[in-house]
Amino acid sequence: MSVILARYAEIGLKSAPVRRRFENQLRENAVNMLMEDGVEAIVEKQGARLYVEAEDPERAVATLRRVFGIASVSVTETTSSKMEDICALAASYSLPRLSQGQSFAVRARREGSQGYTSMDVGREAGSAIFIANEDKGVRVDLTDPDVVFNVEVRDNRAFVFGDVVRCHGGFPVGSQGKVLARIDDDRGIVSAWLMMKRGCRVIASGSADWSCLRAYDPMIREGTEHRQALGLVMGTALEGLDSVDVSQYDLPVYFPTIGMTDAEVAELAETIRAGL
């Protein structure tokens, strides 16, 4: 079973108590989203990572990409943190991924007290990969390699992987309270999505079909009021701002797309509807 490493970014800037709360919310959201998509997986939280074990890693990655708070994911092969095990896995992992005459580099990082440095890991794993593929005429290129192999050592485990899949980042939905969102067009959809990305739970209303937002938060619901709402979100362009009388509302009013062009809104709305 593959292990998917899920990383966060902005959450790491918070104080320890807040970070723990955000991490717990992130794990809960990931579990809920995987269950909603019918993906069987085990999600563990340790250090600054979520570890996701899934029978179908491709489907799991597709789901995790939509979990706000996750900045990137990688499907990995795992072994112990012993240097000889890391080198053996790196060598076997590289065999089907390096072709004749290609160049490669090893990017290593480490956290824990293993008795060696990240530079040691990069050097030893790189040597093992070179020897395993020497008959292909491969070469090391640390500046502009054809193939990059990543090794991440955390405590007593090591992870070897190639690709780093970028995700939306932000904060976990539900970590920043509730907002009301009026959704009448693409700007409304994008505005609600942007507030979700900042950790807000959205209560939606309006004439547009906003069902695509459920792919990012299955708990989104319809409504026009909520006693705990912290604000009202509207999809308004800069040129339409004069027509909005904010004094008629009892809540703060937010305009997340006010600095976006129509083309930028349309492009992001297309991505949202595609569930990417």
* 268 and 208 within one domain: yes
Is pLDDT above 80 for 190? yes
In the chain, DSSP assigns E strands to: 2-7, 41-46, 49-54, 72-80, 103-111, 139-140, 147-154, 157-161, 165-166, 178-182, 201-205, 221-222, 229-234, 253-254
Paired tokens of 173: 């939905």
> pLDDT-based confidence at 239, cuts 50/70/90?
confident
Residue 248 has pLDDT above 70, yes or no: yes
**What average pLDDT does this structure show over 59-76?**
97
Q: Is 205 left (phi over 0), alpha (psi -120 to 50) or beta?
A: beta
Asked if the structure places residue 11 within a domain, the reply is yes
Of 132, 161, 190, the one marking the end of a domain is: 161
Q: Is the pLDDT of residue 186 over 70?
A: yes
The domain tally of the chain equals: 3
Average pLDDT along the chain: 94
User: Do the domain assignments include residue 172?
Assistant: no
Is the pLDDT at 149 greater than 80? The verdict is yes
Q: Minimum mean pLDDT among 24-28, 46-50, 72-76, 90-94: which range?
A: 46-50
Residue 225 scores a pLDDT above 80 = yes
CATH no. for residue 111? 3.30.2130.30
- Could you tell me the pLDDT band of residue 114, with boundaries at 50, 70 and 90? confident
Is 248 in the same domain as 192?
A: yes
Q: Within this chain, do residues 96 and 154 fall inside the same structural domain, yes or no?
A: yes
Residue 55 belongs to domain with CATH number: 3.30.70.1510
Residues 53, 97, single domain; the answer is no
- C-alpha span between 225 and 228 (Å, rounded): 9
For the stretch 5-14, pLDDT in tens is: 999 999 998 9
51, 71, 91 - which closes a domain: 71
Residue 1: the pLDDT is 59
End-to-end alpha carbon distance in the chain = 24
> Domain containing 86: what range?
79-161
pLDDT band for position 48 (cuts 50, 70, 90):
confident
Is residue 168 one of the residues assigned to a domain?
no
Does 171 map to a domain?
no
Closest CA to 114 of 180, 51, 158: 158
Question: Do residues 229 and 262 both lie within one domain?
Answer: yes
The distance from CA 161 to its chain's CA centroid, rounded to whole angstroms, is: 16
Q: Report if residue 228 sits inside a domain.
A: yes
Answer yes or no: is 214 within a domain: yes
Q: How many whole angstroms separate alpha carbon 185 and alpha carbon 183?
A: 6
Same domain, 143 and 208: no
Average pLDDT over residues 244-269: 93
166 in any annotated domain? no
Beta bridge mates, 111: 154
For residue 216, the domain's CATH number is 3.40.50.620
- For residues 251 and 194, state if they share a domain: yes
Is the residue at 170 inside a domain?
no
Q: Are residues 191 and 258 located together in one domain of the fold?
A: yes
